[in-house]
């Protein structure tokens, strides 16, 4: 088993935490987590890949052990998050890399690819959406906030930040709930319970509309640059539906799409299977 290093790096005054493993001269792989988690979600995946790849997995701004600056000093938008992660890749020497994107990591990674298509060698999207048909009705309360950003609509989203909802995200669609370690959702709830964290997340709910507005640009990138794409999808995801995975084939006809009998946090139950699919895909 490869040793995983736990590091911090200053990115323009922001303290970014990240996990690193694998030989420095191996092909580079960037792992981008989603809501409401952190790089901790890759704790099972990294050891399965570290003998073949040089891996870095940062915590996004406002998540995990990366700084959560005040909303007065940092605007919580996906554009700003992508800018920080773009600078992070430059600072750690990731000039050419494959990227694994999940949930919020998807619009972050796709923005990086739009800005620097020459840097991205392949995309592994695990329930990381870029198509309208991938959005379930579970987005309706957030869509209501996009359309009318009132305090009442903002307050209506607060239950999505409760511990019970986080546990549900981890366990919904899982065949054997006992197979899901409580470590992941308990740690997520700890970070989400910090002062100010809920407002940060509500700001990101509001800004997610900019990601949907960029779907046509993401799709144009796929058509023009034809990156290698592997979609590994928990087919019972309550937020990102299987048609969103299939849709990648529309713009990248050779996209490899695989479904797993699990939910949103597919790595909690299928890390071995997803790692095997990634190794096959990336070394093909």
Identify the sign of the CA torsion 76, 21, 277, 42. Answer: negative
CA distances from 197 to 4, 68, 70, 204, 211 (A): 28, 8, 10, 11, 21
Going by their DSSP bridges, the two strands 228-234 and 14-21 should be labelled as unpaired
Q: What is the DSSP string of 45-76?
A: HHHHHTTT-EEEEEPPTTSTTS----TTTS--
> Omega before 43 cis (within 30°)?
no
Region for residue 87 given its phi and psi (left: phi exceeds 0; alpha: psi -120 to 50; beta: otherwise)? alpha
Side-chain half-sphere CA neighbours of 26 within 13 A: 18
Domain boundaries, the chain: 5-136+210-282
Q: Looking at residue 1, what is its pLDDT?
A: 52
Cα 179 to chain centroid, rounded? 22
Instruction: Note down pLDDT in tens along the chain; length 284 residues.
Output: 569 999 999 999 999 999 999 999 999 999 999 999 999 999 999 999 999 999 999 999 999 999 999 999 999 999 999 999 999 999 999 999 999 999 999 999 999 999 999 999 999 999 999 999 999 999 999 999 999 999 999 999 999 999 999 999 999 999 999 999 999 999 999 999 999 999 999 999 999 999 999 999 999 999 999 999 999 999 999 999 999 999 999 999 999 999 999 999 999 999 999 999 999 999 98
Q: Which residues of 165-195 are buried (b: 16+ CB within 10 A; e: fewer)?
A: bbbebbbbbbeeeeebeeebbebbbebbeee
Identify the sign of the CA torsion 121, 115, 20, 101. Answer: negative
Question: Which residue is catalytic, options 40, 54, 236, 264?
Answer: 264
Please name the residues in contact with 274: beta carbons below 8 A apart, sequence gap of 6 or more: 45, 126, 232, 260, 266, 267
Cα 8 to chain centroid, rounded? 20
Q: Which residues of 45-70 are buried (b: 16+ CB within 10 A; e: fewer)?
A: bbbbbbebbbbbbbbbbbbbbbbbbe
User: First and final CA of the chain: distance in angstroms?
Assistant: 23
DSSP 223: H
- The pTM score is 0.97
Q: Would you say how long the chain is, in residues?
A: 284
Q: Say what percent of the chain tops pLDDT 70.
A: 99
CATH architecture, range 5-136+210-282:
3-Layer(aba) Sandwich (3.40)
Other beta carbons within 10 Å of 128: 29
Q: What is the DSSP string of 86-134?
A: HHHHHHTT-SSEEEEEETTHHHHHHHHHHH-GGGEEEEEEES---SGGG
264 flagged as catalytic? yes
Q: Looking at residue 142, what is its pLDDT?
A: 98
């Amino acid at each position: 088993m490869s040793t995983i290093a736990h590091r911090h790096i200053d990115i323009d005054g922001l303290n970014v935490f990240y996990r690193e493993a694998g030989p420095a001269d191996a092909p580079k792989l960037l792992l981008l987590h989603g809501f409401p988690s952190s790089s901790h979600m890759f704790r099972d995946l990294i050891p399965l890949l570290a003998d073949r790849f040089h891996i870095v997995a940062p915590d996004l701004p406002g998540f995990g052990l990366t700084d959560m600056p005040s909303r007065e000093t940092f605007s919580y938008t996906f554009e700003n998050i992508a800018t920080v992660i773009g600078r992070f890749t430059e600072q750690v020497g990731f000039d050419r890399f494959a990227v694994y994107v999940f949930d919020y990591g998807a619009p972050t990674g796709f923005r990086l690819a739009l800005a620097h298509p020459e840097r991205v060698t392949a995309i592994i999207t695990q329930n990381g959406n870029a198509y309208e048909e991938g959005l379930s009705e579970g987005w309706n309360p957030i869509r209501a906030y996009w359309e009318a950003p009132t305090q009442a609509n903002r307050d209506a989203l607060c239950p999505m930040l409760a511990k019970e909802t986080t546990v549900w995200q981890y366990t919904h669609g899982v065949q054997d709930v006992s197979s899901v370690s409580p470590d992941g959702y308990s740690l997520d709830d700890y970070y989400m319970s910090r002062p100010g964290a809920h407002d940060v997340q509500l700001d990101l709910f509001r800004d997610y509309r900019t990601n949907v507005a960029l779907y046509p640009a993401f799709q144009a990138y796929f058509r023009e640059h034809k990156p290698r794409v592997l979609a590994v999808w928990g087919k019972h995801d309550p937020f990102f539906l299987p048609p969103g995975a299939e849709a990648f084939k529309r713009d990248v006809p050779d996209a490899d799409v695989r479904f797993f009998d699990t939910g949103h946090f597919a790595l909690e139950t299928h890390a071995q299977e997803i790692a095997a699919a990634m190794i096959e895909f990336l070394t093909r």
